[in-house]
Structure 1
Amino acid sequence: MKEIKIESLLTVYDSLDELPKDVMALMEKAMEARNKSYAPYSNFSVGAAILLENNEIVMGSNQENASYPSGLCAERTAIFYAGAQYPDVTMVRMAIIAGSKKKVTDTPIPPCGACRQSIAEYEIKQNKPIELYFMGEKGKVVKSHSLANLLPLVFDKTFL
């Protein structure tokens, strides 16, 4: 038997003010997207913004449905749109802001498992990491250099 140790290296900023200006601008786009979410059931709004290598910014927000599985998270809304509209353009960075409409969320909220898997697909496709920045409604911001930090044992096409 052999044990393996898996570690993740994340950077934590105390607030948006500590971020580089270009990242701050992307976080503002994620905030803008969050304001467009449709979340009448969970009252949990999420916004995502992706910076592409061609300097385009693609945004997405969560879109719920009374048939719960038919809704879509903000991260997947944004990344699928980027993949459909800019299929050969590298995704450089993604900013995510999430929070409840019922209480103030001040803890960084990472992408759910389904979104991690979807982001991983594009990271593998482009053979370059996608930087991730995520936060709650306010407070600390977490940076991951790559989705691999959040999903180290990824399921990918090599298993098929």
Structure 2
Amino acid sequence: MLFDSAFDNPDIAPDFDPDDLEGCVPSYTCEGEQVGDAWHVTVRGLPGGAEVHVQGKTWRKAKRHTIDAVQKALGPDSGVYGLQFVPADPEAAEAVDAYYEARQALCFAEQKLRDTAREAARTLTAQGWSNRDTGSVLMMSHQRISQLAPRDARQE
């Protein structure tokens, strides 16, 4: 089925708010810029005014080198921190940010799909609909209906 992959993902906690994560741990922005055939990454604002400058042939290698350099700069007792990698070019950074916002919106939309599918399956089967008829109206397999509205839950 077209939407079945949404059920492969774990549920988001009902009280989760991504905005609550801001400020939980120190976070550093890593700006990457392509110079010639290499990526140059700069991390500013580290403790003590330190900065990290690294290079890598690819974005992936530059990212790995940056992680290693920041770990070294912060030291072994630095605790938990976050690194956000962004393109230095504002237009590219905006495009990447829009992409990640869309991914986050998709996660919440898939959660709404899972929640409403469970509710619909439980409502219909509680009214005596068969799993096959429920699946047919919701455009899901009868096996998926069995997962969403297990018999044990219907008997409570």
TM-score normalized by the length of structure 1: 0.31
TM-score, normalised with respect to structure 2: 0.31
Indicate the structure with greater helix content: 2
Higher strand share: 1
Higher relative contact order (Cα pairs below 8 Å, separated by 6+ residues): 1
Higher CA-based Rg: 2
